[in-house]
Amino acid sequence: MATLVSFHAHPDDECIVAGGVMRKAFEEGHRVVLVVATRGEVGEVPDGFLDDGEELWQRRVQETHASAEVLGAKRVEFLGYTDSGMMGEPRNDVPGTFWQADVEEAAQRLAAILREEQADVLTVYDDNGGYGHPDHIQVHRVGKRAAELAGTPRVYEATSNSDEMRRGMEEAVRTGQMKAEDLPDFEDGSEFGKPEAILTARVDVTEYLSHKRAAMRAHASQISEDSFFLAMPDEAFAQAFGVEWFIRAGQGPGITETDLMAGL
């Protein structure tokens, strides 16, 4: 029917911010392709987790393919860059990291895949990469440029609804589930997600939550059973991950879309 390409920075990102729309597209008969900029070389694992002689990136590539199978992606590609680490770390300056990549060159690599697939829809991240990670910011820059080069008609920026996040935390404080002193300072200038007013797509993915969680579980090197993602009760998980939010240029104001593949 149509082709969705979902572009991400590291293994495991795909299941957290776009796993629902990927599985939804697959269930509706569309082709789903997963592209990852790096192999997640900087992740941490407990001693003894990896096999003798096994590198972390090798395990994370395996995990990505397992996650992709759960989410319905029929093709997985890595662009060949290495993990840049968190913003401000010395690794940001290492040649070969995604943060150091030439945007035009990286965009050409992604555009080649978009052309091969005749992609109808591309997902990237918002201009802050969701929370300021350098590789996530680079996904935004590279993805937007690649779509221009390949002529991909629909580009959605995956993000979070910062206003809903604030309301949820304030409600958790009100009901005693969270301590008031643990509430983030929403006025300190830090940015996680985007304000509700600039979001243009709200996709209900509650039907695919079991797939999102199974995909997270596939990334066992980074998402353990006692992690935030897998340890929370089903109800809390549904509240946190049952909706995926996007921004599409030229849409809005307000939420005007509920399905990235509508009409295709």
Q: Any idea which residue has 């040649």 for tokens?
A: 95
Which residues are CB-contacts of 163 (< 8 A; sequence separation ≥ 6)? 195, 196, 197
Alpha helices (H) in the chain, listed in sequence order:
13-17, 19-27, 56-71, 103-117, 134-150, 162-174, 209-218, 228-231, 234-241
95 CB-contact burial (10 Å; exposed 0-12 / middle 13-18 / buried 19+):
exposed
3-state secondary structure of 243: strand
Distance CA 116, CA 138 (A): 22
Q: Which fold has domain 3-160+199-248?
A: Rossmann fold (3.40.50)
Residue type, 37: A
Which residues are CB-contacts of 206 (< 8 A; sequence separation ≥ 6)? 238, 242, 243
The pLDDT tens digits along the chain (264 residues) read 999 999 999 999 999 999 999 999 999 999 999 999 999 999 889 889 999 999 999 999 999 999 999 999 999 999 999 999 999 999 999 999 999 999 999 999 999 999 999 999 999 999 999 989 999 999 999 999 999 999 999 999 999 998 887 777 677 667 776 576 655 555 544 578 999 999 999 999 999 999 999 999 999 999 999 887 898 888 888 888 999 999 999 998 899 999 999 999
Angle CA 51–54–59, to nearest 5: 90
Asked if residue 67 lies in contact with residue 32, where contact means CB atoms within 8 angstroms, the answer is: no
- pTM for this prediction: 0.93
Distance CA 249, CA 174 (A): 36
Which residues are CB-contacts of 112 (< 8 A; sequence separation ≥ 6)? none
Sign of CA dihedral 123, 90, 103, 42: negative
Give the domain ranges of the chain. Answer: 3-160+199-248
Nearest residue to 244 via CA among 78, 3, 14, 40? 14
